[in-house]
A and B are shown apart, each in its own frame.
Chain A
């Protein structure tokens, strides 16, 4: 019997990595990064959101390298993020300025500017479309040309693509409390580790880069009964947010550069909460839960808005209102990493526990027993 646990580790690992490459290549066909970019929009969106790195090209490359595994692709981008110098903070982005691609309200039928359904799977029947098995280049092109022609005729008639926020409409009616804008510099959770109680900016950052499944599960738990938040979606909007950075050496406030735009989904949920009126009488008032994330990922943004509202009310006993419970367990790199570490050897720690277990079975050292 050889010294198995000791020697040969390096060779075995190399062989395993080769095997992994073989699994990626053996089918003979490869999806190129450009094909992922043009056909896997929502996957790319989700990867960028959980990675908190906005780069469709890098996300597509990560998806290719990770053989389509969400967890691995996000991981690759997060690690890559650690090698990059941080040069700027962008200026505050105002979502009123979003170039809207989709925007709906579940609260009002008639919202100023109207409902814009945009592209969504919401209204499709989830039936497997077998015709896609034989989708020809020619047919695709034909459909595209015709559609784009109709589109350009339509677009001439529409405005600049910005829409007023639904919430403004209700605010005018006094249904929301009016707050002074809070212009405190946000805390950056990637540069400074947050402490409890966390600031709201820290909470929102952790939630927006959280794992889609984890955010959805916790938001759902709250909605279903482990919490007290049942919101109405005031507005879901998805589109392009323009990003600007301050110009170096500039002295005026107007000195900033537009560096591009990011697609994002933003949600404002309305939650009725009991408050005390001016005469001490119990009355109801709406509070807002806020959700935002990279790309089009409406489920995550809505769930985030629920959790944001939950975390504003730590007085509830439900776990979704406990910020340590929520914020420490939704990050994909952290949760998948720690779960997967269980596959590492635990020979020493187990030996140590074994020693204790054996000793107790011997009946202790006789002092008390």
Chain B
């Protein structure tokens, strides 16, 4: 009854299947490849698509980083790292530069990724057209025919109603001039990081059973109109209260003691890195 533990949890047959779907996804950028998603020891909706990609890709020489909404120590990131560590024994890191495999929920790290890295994004809702078409059989046809007027109309209606587009995270993008794709709910701020990314970006939706990809150096355009250009979240005039960073995605905090709103880096390892370097400088400065 007691089974031998498997390297990276999944049996080898399953991994092979997932890698085959991944290769197809890389070959057709932005196209959602259906795959027979396995049940994982984590709940559906908690990153099982990303986790299956990670398990199918991870080898003994990999170094893994997992972030959840920007944080390395967030509940779910910790739980995923624990599982991969327990089943593979590979090292984990918080430093973006050190990782060969990065699994992330809803953020792309602030440090630019390189061609030696793979970014795996967890996807809750892979279908960008689902908001206006509930049937899978219909959205599949719409993609096949590049029939995206619904996606444009959605944005147009927002402009008519509110004077601007009101997408939050998951603002749809056009991949390689062909497929409209849900970039997973990364903030609009991160959309431009996908464009001509040096790293391979893989997106996995476990519950919806889809894998799709943005291969390196692929053109990614966020859907927008000429007279209403695409805009990321605005953090102008704001900086991190710890490391002072500007031009990064910031978390907003309400400080109870002062009743003031303050900001801090959302990418925690980037922030810690900057703080470390500042400290180093101070130390060096002090010894002189």
Contact = CB atoms under 8 A, between A and B. Distances in A.
Interface string B240-259: 00100000010110011100
A363 to B, nearest CB: 7
Interface stretch (A157-165, A297-305, A332-340): A332-340
A191 B17 contact: yes
A368 B68 contact: no
Contacts of B266: 347-348, 351
A13 B187 CA distance: 27
A364 interface: yes
Contacts of B69: 345-349
Interface in B34-67: 34-41, 43-46, 48
Given A324-B136, A355-B168, A368-B159, A83 B68 contact: no
B121 interface: no
A317 interface: no
Residue from A333, A355, A364 with most neighbouring chain B CB atoms (10 Å): A355
Given A75-B43, A345-B69, A347-B266, A356 B166 contact: yes
Interface residues of A, number: 65
Given A13-B79, A193-B34, A338-B207, A83 B45 contact: no
B209 A193 contact: yes
B273 interface: no
Nearest to B6: A83
A86 B228 CA distance: 53
B124 A338 contact: yes
B230 interface: no
Interface stretch (B8-16, B110-118, B173-181): B8-16
Given A78-B39, A193-B35, A195-B34, A9 B207 contact: no
B233 A351 contact: yes
Nearest to B252: A351
Nearest to B262: A1
B119 interface: no
A79 B207 contact: no
B258 to A, nearest CB: 10
Contacts of B286: none
Contacts of A197: 137
B36 A190 contact: yes
Q: DSSP class of B's interface residues: helix, strand, loop or mixed?
A: loop
B36 A189 contact: yes
B282 interface: no
A57 B140 CA distance: 42
B164 interface: yes
Interface in A24-62: 55, 57-58, 61
A19 to B, nearest CB: 14
A151 interface: no
B162 A344 contact: no
Interface of B: 1, 3, 5-6, 9-14, 17, 34-41, 43-46, 48, 68-79, 105-107, 124, 134-137, 140, 159-160, 162-170, 185-189, 207, 209, 227-228, 233-234, 242, 249, 251-252, 255-257, 264, 266, 268, 272
30 contacts: A1-B257, A3-B264, A9-B77, A79-B40, A80-B3, A82-B39, A83-B5, A85-B12, A190-B38, A191-B36, A196-B136, A341-B45, A341-B124, A347-B69, A348-B69, A348-B106, A348-B169, A348-B186, A348-B251, A349-B106, A349-B169, A349-B185, A351-B249, A351-B251, A353-B169, A356-B166, A359-B166, A367-B163, A367-B227, A368-B159
Task: List the 10 shortest-distance A-B pairs measured between CB atoms, nearest first.
Answer: A364-B163, A337-B44, A341-B45, A353-B168, A78-B39, A337-B43, A9-B73, A338-B45, A196-B137, A82-B38
